[in-house]
């Protein structure tokens, strides 16, 4: 039995979940040496540089700047770069300073729920069905079980409500980027990903310079952590998400967001020596059941 999305795309969303789940550890290391805005700006700039080189080595280069679809392609790339990288990276990095990590995890699981109505309206091939909605709600329940009731415990900060709003706005931003990518004109996945990150780099560096000025120190640990964030959860992840959205649709990509808390716990237990929560296996069962319900299967 294989999902209609194809085995390749199932593998891609599993890898995306692992990449994004591990990124929280490296963000903790990175913000020890840089501001949140500079962590976002540096990782995006590294990713943009790598993908631009990859596209030219592969012979595709960046999308053409002239032609019938050129403007639409570059506007779509700007939308992907801003809504999938520059805006959510900044919002999450800032928001997590005022809310519990559990709440941030739950807010990311809201991405596929936001995608559902947007895809129904803007992507004719990705209509909302009762089966799909039930499956996504079951998956969300699994994430909520994993994070536990402490997700909504107050962090004690004075502007916690604004921090929570920032997390949900980041989730909405990711959802919008999926729709933009799906509706973009046909173009090489590598070229489109590189163009999006290039546009995001310009925006994020500008924001970091405006609010935080130029960094004066570059400690080795945070530098290495930011390098990892740029190469894997940003450059590689952007290539993967563009491929999944264009081939399987934004709703299918949303399944990767349910995995992020699972992978975050797994990496915390195996690499940081954290205690495995007792609800991990039941939560994983709910998430997998929700995935099975939401997807159409064929022999």
CA 37 to CA 27: how far, in whole Å? 12
Residue 122 sits at the vertex; the CA angle it makes with 116 and 125, to the nearest 5 degrees, is 75
Q: Are 237 and 16 in contact (CB under 8 A)?
A: yes
Q: First-to-last CA distance in the chain? A: 5
Residue 276 pLDDT: 67
What's the token pair of residue 278?
């007792």
Q: What pLDDT was estimated at residue 262?
A: 74
Q: What does each C-alpha distance from 260 to 19, 43, 179 come to in angstroms?
A: 8, 19, 20
Print the domain residue range for 68: 2-298
Give me the number of domains the chain comprises. Answer: 1
CB 147 within 8 A of CB 102: yes
pTM reported for the whole predicted model: 0.81
HEC-encoded secondary structure of 213-240: CCCCCCCHHHHHHHHHHHHHHHHHHHHH
Q: How far apart are CA 42 and CA 61, in angstroms?
A: 22
Helix, strand, coil abundance in the chain, percent, nearest 5: 75, 0, 20
**pLDDT under 50 in the chain at which residues?**
1-3, 297-299
CA distance 72 to 79: 10
């Amino acid at each position: 039995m294989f999902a209609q999305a194809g085995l390749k795309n199932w593998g891609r969303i599993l890898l995306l979940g692992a990449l994004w789940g591990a990124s929280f550890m490296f963000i903790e290391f990175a913000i020890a040496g840089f501001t949140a805005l500079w962590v976002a700006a540096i990782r995006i700039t590294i990713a943009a540089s790598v993908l631009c080189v990859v596209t030219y080595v592969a012979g595709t280069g960046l999308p053409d700047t002239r032609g019938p679809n050129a403007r639409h392609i570059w506007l779509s790339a700007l939308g992907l770069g801003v809504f999938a990288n520059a805006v959510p990276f900044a919002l999450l990095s800032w928001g997590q300073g005022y809310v519990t990590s559990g709440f941030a995890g739950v807010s990311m699981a809201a991405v596929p729920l936001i995608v559902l109505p947007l895809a129904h309206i803007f992507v004719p091939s990705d209509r909302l069905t009762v089966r799909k909605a039930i499956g996504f709600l079951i998956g969300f329940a699994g994430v909520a079980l994993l994070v536990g009731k402490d997700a909504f415990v107050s962090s004690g900060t004075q502007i916690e409500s604004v921090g929570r709003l920032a997390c949900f706005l980041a989730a909405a931003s990711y959802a919008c980027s999926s729709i933009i990518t799906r509706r973009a004109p046909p173009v090489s996945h590598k070229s489109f990903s590189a163009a999006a990150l290039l546009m995001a780099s310009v925006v994020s560096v500008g924001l970091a310079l405006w609010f935080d000025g130029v960094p004066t120190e570059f400690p080795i640990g945070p530098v290495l952590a930011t390098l990892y964030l740029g190469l894997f959860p940003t450059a590689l992840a952007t290539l993967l998400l563009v491929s999944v959205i264009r081939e399987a649709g934004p709703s299918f990509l949303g399944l990767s967001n349910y995995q992020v808390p699972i992978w975050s716990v797994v990496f915390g237990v195996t690499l940081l020596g954290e205690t495995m929560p007792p609800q991990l296996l039941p939560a994983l069962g709910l998430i997998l059941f929700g995935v099975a319900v939401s997807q159409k299967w064929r022999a």
